[in-house]
Structure 1
Amino acid sequence: MIGRLPLDEQLAALKSVLSRNEVLLEVLHRAAGLGLPGWYVTAGCLFQTVWNVATDRHPTSGIKDYDVFYFDSHDLSWEAEDSVIRAAGEAFAGLGAEVEVRNEARVHLWYEQKFGTACAPHTSTEAAIDSFAATTCCLGVRLEPDGRWRVYAPHGLADVFNLVVRPNPVLAPREVYETKTTRWQKQWPELTVLDWPS
């Protein structure tokens, strides 16, 4: 059981498992070339790759997109973010997968309109990752200039490897958690989904 290994061994296992998703590896390499401040590849493409490998599915099965977060608080205009998105569109062209790039310094400007609850401005990409609806989703990976993998996992990796989805009621509303987990359980019925706290 990987989730019960010492943390250094879990990190080695994570890199080994994620490396089986060739699309993800390409996203990591191309994202590194963009030079975005505080960037991470994050969310579903990471933990769903682990779920796929753990359940003997193809590493890319059921992954709808690849999220790249970055943090630039110097220019919060849509035009600045859009220019990064367009540059990323060129960088990820021909990949055969959807890559979504977002400036997490701007989330508070649109979050309430989309999700019905206010969001205080994030202070970093890590802070944005901390606010995902499930702790299992709170995971980010990037390639450092020397080629090392930087892994951000504030809740550890045990739930990811053990296919446990645990709610993280810090920002996203309950409906977001339940909508996501319902979709995930259809794709990965092996998951153990814990209830939102009452």
Structure 2
Amino acid sequence: MAPGMSLSSVNAIVILNIDDGSRIFAKYYSAPHHAPTASSSHQSSGPYADLKSQKTFEKGLLEKTSKQTGDIILYDNRIVLYKMESDVMMYVVAGVDENEVLLYNVILALRDSLHLLFKQSVDKRTIIENYDLVSLAIDEIVDDGIILETDPTIIVQRVSKAPTQDVNLSRIDLSEQGVNNLAQLGKAKLTDWLRQGL
């Protein structure tokens, strides 16, 4: 690999409230394998190491993108991809030398995963009420700045809620035929669910 190359390509994923610019979700990444050098040992790692610099960046970012109609901008020497949904703005922030197409797939994966999880209602209230699912979905997409998955159906399968009702185990048919019937039912339900979601 070339000296400057790294799998860690995402600097931050941020979700902001459009109305007042408040932070709903923010996760900033720094490459986990970069050790501080002697000249930079007094600084924290990452481009936005403290809360003040993060808030300043987010405020400027929202001001810059709130009136835009595109999906990508260059801001603060970073590539920023963004999508607006209802009353929130979602951002993926990366270095200027990163692949824009791959980053665009990340923002689409985030948006589409939330649409599938929340049945098309992606807004501030829904995100706050389901903060755990949002956090899990983002962790499935990006971990420590490394892009792991961009297929929304796979992401949703990994983070979907477990059944809320207790299952009566004595009523489950564990014979070979019973398991086969259950598998067929599951495939049919998943197919129906995916058709409704898309």
User: If the length of structure 2 is used for normalisation, what is the TM-score?
Assistant: 0.26
Structure possessing the higher radius of gyration over alpha carbons = 2
Query: If each structure's helix is expressed as a fraction of its own residues, which one has the higher value?
Result: 1
